[in-house]
Amino acid sequence: MVKLDVVRSANAALVRSQPLVAVFIGGTSGIGEYTVQTLAATHGESGQGLRVYIVGRKAAAAEKTIAECLGVCPKGQFKFVQAGDLALLKEVDRVCTEVRRLEEEEESSQGIGVARVDILVITAAYLTWEARRETQEGLDTVMSLLYYARMRFTTQLLPLLLSSVLPSAHVISVYGAGLEGKLFPSDLSLRDPEHYTFTTIRSHVTYMITLFMRQLAAQHPGRLSLTHVFPGLVMTNSFEHDRLPKWLKLVYKWIGEPILRHFSVPARECGDRILFLATERFPAKEDATAAVREKTSLANDDGFVARGSDGQVGSGAYAVGQDGETIPVAKMEKAYARYEKEGLARQVWEHTTKAFADIETGRVFSG
């Protein structure tokens, strides 16, 4: 486990290094909100400058989060971008267009340089035990929020990410790194009802996020770092979603929550550990220079730079557990070795980009 004081020291160094621009998808509640608050508190009044775009559905929740952030970071800028149904990729595109517009206006009005995004954190999701339910675009609602929409946000915001002032821009997707299980390569979208279960959704999404991130990291060496993280048990409002049955909400409220709270990761620690993934321990591919590797302030078995999800130090794509350490190489090899030989990485890339292309041109994706 990476010690918490080490995590916080690295985070403090991050906000002192240069002004930062961050985008949080799902930043008005749960882990996204915890991380926004941590970034604001870490920056405080001594950071070099902070601008945050908080994407969410509820304006009232955003106002509360922004007020709390301004209380600890009065010089920061916190802007709310209201979103509709983010399971729809066209809504994702609209939100990205709005973020770009706001950031370009900010750059133009202040003459601050090139519009950019340094850190993108994506947490939007919801729990469900329903049967597969397709959006009008042909994607399963749950899988779209957990995978397709997240990768669409990443690719649509790439021009801003590649303009980052950090040594490398950071994309952080919070979900299930290391929780790979059963996989149906011929049914990546889980259209077969017999394949569609809570555990197979989690497994498919985990494989696909990790493999898509590897491809993006390889395409943008020295520019883009991408991390898929499992945050552990964190107390959020996930069980308050409208689509969950009332009996389950009651069971959780009166039995589950009181018990699980004793085993959960505290909100502030969760925020600290998510923000840590945007530090120099997780560089873009080919950005892990000898000088950086020789540092010891965050030393672990691999030295200063984290080992990527493909087993290579500083590969630019990382799979991280709740303790801040990368998922063990042996575990990743066991999960991925067979599928890598069978060309799953290319298959996931082609499947995903076809979904994007079909939906962008108004077709219903059927892959």
What sign does the dihedral 20-23-24-28 (CA atoms) show?
Answer: positive
DSSP state of 144: I
Q: Where are the beta strands (DSSP E) in 89-241?
A: 119-122, 169-174, 224-229
pLDDT tens profile 159-201: 999 999 899 999 999 999 999 999 999 999 999 999 999 899 9
Mean pLDDT per 10-residue interval, the chain, length 367 residues: 92 92 91 94 90 95 95 95 96 98 87 86 79 93 96 98 94 95 96 94 97 97 96 64 56 56 72 96 75 43 77 94 93 94 96 98 95
pLDDT score at 112: 61
- Contact, 21 vs 118, CB < 8 A? yes
Amino acid 353 reads T
Cα distance between residue 172 and residue 166, in whole Å: 15
- Extract long-range pairs of 257-265: CB within 8 Å, 24+ residues apart: 260/233, 260/235, 261/235, 263/233, 264/232, 264/233, 264/234, 264/235, 265/231, 265/232, 265/233, 265/234, 265/322
What sign does the dihedral 282-329-217-175 (CA atoms) show?
Answer: negative
Average pLDDT, the chain: 88
Shortest CA distance to 15 belongs to which of 220, 272, 305? 272
Structure tokens at 118: 């340094």
Cα distance between residue 57 and residue 80, in whole Å: 10
Q: Which residue has tokens 């493999």?
A: 211
